[in-house]
Amino acid sequence: MEPTLYKLATSFLLGGLVSLVTITNPLSKIPLFVSLAADLDEAAARREASRACIYALALLAGCLFAGVAVLETFGISYGALRVAGGLTVAVIGYRMLFGTTEALFPRPTSSGTATGFAFFPLAMPGIAGPGAIATVIGISTEIAELPSGALRATAYGATVFSILATCLLMFGIFRSARLVSRWLGGEGINVVARLTGFLLVCIGVQFVGSGIRSFVAGT
């Protein structure tokens, strides 16, 4: 691979992975999964976890490839998308930093069923929530602005791999959720959520800044 392609692939892979892992915040999903799978045995819980990760992978990959087309259909500029996505990510981070993760991912009530939760609320909005979708579409706008097909193909491949790696990490967290929940405890998960919230605010501000630069450049 040419040095330029290698550098580009590394940039999109690491950038996408860090952004998605930060915004999905795998540890914050542990209480949600533990409560949803409380009445399931290990095999059933593993099946729901794998289905949720497959759904999330399909949703995020679909947003990556279709995002630009949707924006063009509705006449939304790349700059507007980045500003809106950045604000969305920043608000989520703010709520995690100063609020409670329960407001974002509420636990099911006792009247809810123990099965059939792979797509909602685990895959969406648990993994592929508004912030993750906005992040992926924002990355797709950056890819669309690359000057050649080879660069765009490399960036798409690296970003898809970052989405896959994120979903695999989520599956590993779900598989060990009961053990990790006992080890960290509620306070430990809360600390991780606060730190992640601060990082999300930073990522959101970066997206907003990128969107403003696009507006100034007239794209």
Percentage of the chain beyond pLDDT 90 is: 35
Examine the pLDDT at 180 and tell me if it is beyond 50. Answer: yes
The larger pLDDT score, comparing residue 88 to residue 60, is at: 60
Residue 120 binned pLDDT confidence (cut-offs 50, 70, 90): confident
Q: What is the pLDDT of residue 158?
A: 97
Averaged confidence pLDDT in the chain: 83
Q: What is the pLDDT of residue 59?
A: 96
- Our separate counts of H helices and E strands in the chain read 8, 0
11 lies in some domain: yes
Q: How far is CA 197 from CA 73, 114, 115, 202, in A?
A: 33, 29, 30, 9
**Can the peptide bond before residue 3 be classed as cis, meaning omega within 30 degrees of 0?**
no
Contacting residues for 127 by C-beta, under 8 A, at least 6 apart = 24, 29, 52, 53, 56, 166, 167, 170
Examine the pLDDT at 88 and tell me if it is beyond 50. Answer: yes
Examine the pLDDT at 101 and tell me if it is beyond 50. Answer: no
| DSSP states along 25-45 | -GGGGHHHHHHHTTTS-HHHH
First to last CA, the chain: 30
Q: What is the pLDDT of residue 100?
A: 54
112 lies in some domain: no
109 lies in some domain: no
Percentage of the chain beyond pLDDT 70 is: 90
Residue 115 binned pLDDT confidence (cut-offs 50, 70, 90): low
User: Domain span at residue 136?
Assistant: 3-101+118-214
Q: What is the pLDDT of residue 188?
A: 76
Examine the pLDDT at 102 and tell me if it is beyond 70. Answer: no
Residue 104 binned pLDDT confidence (cut-offs 50, 70, 90): very low
Q: Would you tell me how many other CB atoms lie within 10 Å of the CB of residue 31? A: 18
Total number of domains constituting the chain: 1
Examine the pLDDT at 173 and tell me if it is beyond 90. Answer: yes
137 lies in some domain: yes
16 lies in some domain: yes
CB of 166 closer than 8 Å to CB of 21: yes
Q: What is the pLDDT of residue 111?
A: 40
153 lies in some domain: yes
74 lies in some domain: yes
113 lies in some domain: no
